[in-house]
Amino acid sequence: MHGFALHSGFEPPFQSPYSDEHTCGKPVSRPHFPMPKILKAIKRVRAVNQKLIAFERGFISEDGLPSREWYKHLGVAPGRWLGYGATTLPALTESITLDKNSTLAKYEAERLRSLVDKLVETIRV
């Protein structure tokens, strides 16, 4: 019957390894909870998350993409002829591959270089 109960979703009652039953009445050394370390880790995670948010927002340009100003993200956007398929660095990629316009490609490369320089300063620790 015991095996049947285990297989039908019932488990035996939890037995703590720190209960008096297993220590023969001797004092038990309980594990130390490292609260200061946890709080420090939480602060660090929050700081990194804030940098990640700033990094992601750094790719947003008010000017948007050439011929598609409603797309503001310079890092990734739907491709011009891909439907919802993503294109990375769309302004630069499309100026080279679709438009074959070296002047526009140089402009977009400079715009990205400037953006990346700002982002490096944003995420520096």
Domain membership of residue 1 (yes or no) is: no
pLDDT for the residue 83: 82
pLDDT for the residue 32: 75
pTM of the entire structure?
0.62
Q: How confident is the model at residue 23 (pLDDT cuts 50, 70, 90)?
A: low
State both tokens at 29. 């050394």
Q: Write the CB contacts of 71 (distance below 8 Å, at least 6 apart in sequence).
A: 64, 65, 77, 78, 90
Domain membership of residue 99 (yes or no) is: yes
Q: Identify which of 76, 71, 101 has the alpha carbon closest to the alpha carbon of residue 89.
A: 76
Q: How confident is the model at residue 20 (pLDDT cuts 50, 70, 90)?
A: low
User: 102-123 and 35-57 are packed helices; what angle lies between their axes, rounded to 10 degrees?
Assistant: 160
Average pLDDT, the chain: 83
The CA distance from 113 to 101, in Å, is 18
The total domain count for the chain is 1
What integer is the mean pLDDT of 41-64? 92
The CA distance from 91 to 98, in Å, is 10
Domain membership of residue 11 (yes or no) is: no
Domain membership of residue 9 (yes or no) is: no
Q: How confident is the model at residue 96 (pLDDT cuts 50, 70, 90)?
A: very high
Domain span including residue 77? 35-123
Q: What is the pLDDT of residues 1-17, one digit of tens each?
A: 455 554 555 566 656 65
Q: Identify which of 82, 38, 39, 73 has the alpha carbon closest to the alpha carbon of residue 55.
A: 73
